Chain A
């Protein structure tokens, strides 16, 4: 069964800290890995990664994929209270036409 596991499940840090969120996966036919941010309602797309070792960056957020070790990390530097959210990792599976989501990491940034 395809599986995506995120860690930690919950993280509380102070504003200005740097955080690293982890996502590991076991799927039959990997196609891509995606990160989403979910605040109060709908998940919003952050990154899609398909190639190992190539960092994707958007402002203070960055992510990288390791297809050999089957994991990805999402880094957030100089965190702000607006970064508080649940961060979801999902894997696209070849031929299955679906995304498999992890449980999410609930990140809380305290002022």
Chain B
């Protein structure tokens, strides 16, 4: 158990809908990272927040957005969902620059 929690574990929704994924980092970690993992793409970096501020953006679609709240938990919002958005979404947290600890992931299925 990494200490990073994510909810929900599974999410099934329809195309065009909007969902919110939630992440609580390890105690004391100020950085939260979001990744998408699909079968054909591997782990793709989406976005990084540090202490409430956006620090880096990866290949994140405009339909996706994230935020980190004062209590350091983070939410990833996915809207206008498409079939291709079906994937595992991981959150990771860290104190040092690189050693990231991953949560259990949210499996999103878009039907």
Q: Which residues of A contact B (CB under 8 A)?
A: 31-32, 34, 36, 41-45, 48, 88, 90, 92, 96-104
CA distance A98 to B56 in the complex (A): 7
Stretch binding the partner chain, chosen from B14-22, B69-77, B98-106: B98-106
Residues of chain A with a CB closer than 8 A to B98's CB:
31-32, 34, 48, 92, 99
- Least CB separation from A36: chain B residue: B102
Residues of chain A with a CB closer than 8 A to B90's CB:
42-43
Residues of chain B with a CB closer than 8 A to A36's CB:
102
The DSSP consensus for interface residues of chain A is strand
Q: Which of B48, B55, B58, B102 contacts A44 (CB 8 A)?
A: B102
Residues of chain B with a CB closer than 8 A to A96's CB:
56
Number of chain B residues whose Cβ lies closer than 8 Å to a Cβ of chain A: 23
CA distance A72 to B48 in the complex (A): 26
- Least CB separation from A32: chain B residue: B98
Instruction: Supply 19 A–B pairs (Cβ within 8 Å), ascending by A.
Output: A41-B88, A42-B2, A42-B102, A42-B103, A42-B104, A44-B2, A45-B100, A45-B101, A48-B98, A88-B43, A92-B97, A96-B56, A97-B48, A97-B50, A98-B45, A98-B48, A99-B33, A100-B45, A104-B42
> In the complex, what's the smallest C-beta–C-beta distance from A81 to chain B, in angstroms?
22
Q: Which of B43, B44, B55, B104 contacts A97 (CB 8 A)?
A: B55
Residues of chain B with a CB closer than 8 A to A44's CB:
2, 102
> In the complex, what's the smallest C-beta–C-beta distance from A27 to chain B, in angstroms?
12
Check B100 against A99 for contact (C-beta < 8 Å). yes
- Least CB separation from A33: chain B residue: B98
- Least CB separation from B54: chain A residue: A97
CA distance A97 to B46 in the complex (A): 11
> In the complex, what's the smallest C-beta–C-beta distance from B1 to chain A, in angstroms?
9
Residues of chain A with a CB closer than 8 A to B88's CB:
41
Q: Which of A31, A48, A98 contacts B33 (CB 8 A)?
A: A98
Chain B CB count within 10 A is highest, among A36, A41, A44, A99, for A99
Residues of chain B with a CB closer than 8 A to A99's CB:
33, 45, 98, 100
